[in-house]
């Protein structure tokens, strides 16, 4: 007869699993020296790019939750390859193909890799597999959609640099929601490549001279930046005031509780609006009416300006940064 399992036995097993899992994830979290920019991590902040090379050893380590997501992404990459390979008979070659980007002086200024290539009609089609949650998966339906968030814009730059560096006209993103795949064609965009390359060359020269561009606080980048304490140190590390105010504390607590809902709202809002793009008038069931209009606005494409011209129009303004961290 098997021995009686008590609540304590079950709880002790649960505690063991949680602690061990954390240990396993923690063991994978590390920093690595970087001698050139990484094509999959071309951040929109110039200062981040310099920190990433000169201060790689001070980069804030990510947490176990994010490591678990990275692990799941790596496993999913293999699953996608198996699904397409074994089930559809497609052949993947050159897995994790490395590539380098050199500047005019022949120095390697960036390194990257893509997930591999699929042999098709005697040619090897470049493939990059990205796994993501359901909301993101539903939101990304065209290359344009990749421009909606900093993370997806990084995916675009990575693929563009690969195509450029390897003299290829096109490749495919394979997006996965961990169940099925969505294929998105990527075509070489020379204009975008030239812009990214000249930016990398400029940043490379700054890195060689140890010059950091000025910090420009942008919440969508800085709030998740692993160099924030280094970069915004003055803001974050000043001796703190102690404020005893229960109402304020309650509001901060409520703010934390609402944050995931706001993030979910933003994702769903984008996804829903993308669905109704180009639809002037629609009803959804009996509960919703959607009215769409095309509007235009004129703006200056600062990216297209030569650096020296853009500098003439730069203006400095001051702002206050409140970075709120739950203890």
Beta bridge partners of 70: none
Residue 44 C-beta: closest distance to ligand SF4, Å: 8
User: Can you tell me which of 199, 215, 267, 271 binds ligand SF4, judged by CB under 6 A?
Assistant: 215
User: Can you tell me which of 54, 193, 232, 272 binds ligand SF4, judged by CB under 6 A?
Assistant: 232
In the complex with ligand SF4, the residue whose CB is nearer, 45 or 203, is: 45
Whether 217 and 317 have beta carbons less than 8 Å apart is answered as: no
Q: Does residue 101 interact with ligand SF4 by CB under 6 A?
A: no
Q: Does residue 54 interact with ligand SF4 by CB under 6 A?
A: no
- Among 65, 110, 58, which Cα is nearest to 226's? 58
Stretch that binds ligand SF4, among 11-19, 90-98, 213-221, 310-318 (CB under 6 A): 213-221
Residue 59 C-beta: closest distance to ligand SF4, Å: 10
Q: Does residue 132 interact with ligand SF4 by CB under 6 A?
A: no
Stretch that binds ligand SF4, among 77-85, 175-183, 223-231, 252-260 (CB under 6 A): 223-231
Query: d(Cα 170, Cα 216) in Å, to the nearest integer?
Result: 35
Stretch that binds ligand SF4, among 114-122, 131-139, 159-167, 228-236 (CB under 6 A): 228-236
Query: d(Cα 303, Cα 235) in Å, to the nearest integer?
Result: 29
Query: d(Cα 182, Cα 137) in Å, to the nearest integer?
Result: 8
- How many CB atoms are closer than 10 A to CB 37? 25
> If you write DSSP's letter for every residue of 201-242 in order, what string do you get?
HHHHHHHHHTPPPPP---HHHHTT-TTHHHHTHHHHHSPPPP
Residue 153 C-beta: closest distance to ligand SF4, Å: 14
Whether 146 and 139 have beta carbons less than 8 Å apart is answered as: no
Phi-psi region of 30 (alpha: psi -120 to 50; beta: other; left: phi over 0): beta
Q: Does residue 109 interact with ligand SF4 by CB under 6 A?
A: no
Q: Does residue 204 interact with ligand SF4 by CB under 6 A?
A: no
Q: Does residue 203 interact with ligand SF4 by CB under 6 A?
A: no
Q: Count residues near ligand SF4 (CB under 6 A).
A: 13
User: Can you tell me which of 216, 236, 275, 321 binds ligand SF4, judged by CB under 6 A?
Assistant: 216
Strand stretches in the chain, DSSP E: 37-38, 92-93, 97-102, 108-114, 116-120, 123-131, 170-176, 181-187, 281-284, 288-291
What are the residues binding ligand SF4 (CB under 6 A)? Answer: 45, 47-48, 51, 215-216, 221-222, 225, 227-228, 231-232
């Amino acid at each position: 007869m098997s021995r009686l399992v008590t609540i304590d036995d079950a709880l002790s097993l649960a505690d063991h699993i949680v602690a061990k899992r954390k240990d396993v994830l923690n063991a994978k979290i590390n920093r690595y020296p970087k001698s050139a920019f990484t094509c999959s991590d071309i951040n929109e902040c110039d200062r981040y790019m310099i920190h990433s090379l000169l201060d790689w050893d001070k980069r804030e380590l990510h947490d176990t939750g994010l490591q678990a997501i990275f692990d799941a992404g790596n496993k999913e990459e293999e699953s996608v390859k198996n699904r397409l390979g074994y089930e559809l008979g497609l052949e993947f070659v050159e897995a994790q193909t490395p590539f380098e980007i050199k500047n005019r002086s022949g120095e390697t200024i960036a390194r990257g890799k893509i997930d591999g290539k699929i042999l098709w009609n005697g040619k090897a089609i470049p493939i990059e597999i990205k796994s993501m949650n359901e909301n993101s998966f539903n939101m990304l339906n065209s290359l344009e959609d990749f421009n909606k968030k900093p993370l997806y814009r990084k995916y675009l730059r990575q693929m563009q640099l690969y195509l450029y560096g390897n003299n290829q006209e096109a490749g495919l993103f394979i997006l996965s929601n961990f169940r099925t795949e969505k294929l998105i064609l990527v075509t070489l965009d020379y204009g975008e490549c030239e812009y990214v390359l000249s930016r990398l060359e400029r940043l490379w020269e700054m890195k060689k001279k140890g010059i950091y561009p000025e910090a420009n606080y942008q919440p969508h980048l800085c709030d998740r930046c692993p160099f924030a304490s280094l970069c915004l140190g003055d803001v974050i590390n000043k001796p703190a005031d102690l404020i005893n105010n229960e109402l304020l504390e309650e509001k901060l607590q409520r703010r934390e509780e609402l944050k995931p809902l706001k993030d979910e709202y933003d994702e769903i809002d984008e996804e829903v609006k993308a669905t109704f793009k180009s639809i002037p008038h629609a009803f959804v069931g009996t509960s919703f009416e959607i009215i769409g209009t095309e509007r235009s606005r004129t703006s200056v494409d600062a990216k297209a300006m030569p650096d020296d011209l853009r500098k003439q129009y730069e203006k400095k303004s001051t702002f206050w940064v409140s970075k709120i961290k739950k203890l």
